Amino acid sequence: MQDFLIRTTNQLEVRDFATRIAIVVYSTKPTAVLKLNELGKGLTQKAVKEKIYQMKHQRGFTFIDKALRLAEREIFTKANGMRRNVPKVFRIIKLK
């Protein structure tokens, strides 16, 4: 799954004023691995890839509802980098 995320990241123009990426890893307890503005001006493909490679597989049950609530609360907010009038892509990927 990490390879898929890396390949996807390679296809995007990842920068603060271009494509921003957020990642939530989830199972029994979801975790925000990367928020939209977490890296600020240091947001690059390389920085996102480093975050992806640092992700650990979580054991537990698949509670996607908890992940969606966490994303709404911690990712999709103006304080964490959500921009108005910018197209959003929301993708749920389960790491195995």
Measured at the CA of 96, the angle between CA 53 and CA 31, to 5 degrees, comes to 60
Give the burial class of 47: count Cβ atoms within 10 A of its Cβ; 0-12 exposed, 13-18 middle, 19 or more buried.
Answer: middle
List, in order of start, the domains of the chain with CATH numbers: 2-80 (3.40.50.410)
Q: CB under 8 Å to 88, separation ≥6 — which residues?
A: 76
Percent of the chain residues topping a pLDDT of 70: 93
Helix (H) / strand (E) element for 7: namely: helix 2-10
The predicted-structure confidence for 81-90, as pLDDT tens digits, reads as follows 888 888 777 6
Q: Does the predicted TM-score (pTM) go above 0.75?
A: yes
Instruction: Tell me the pLDDT tens digit for each residue of 3-15.
Output: 998 999 999 889 8
Residues present in the chain in total: 96
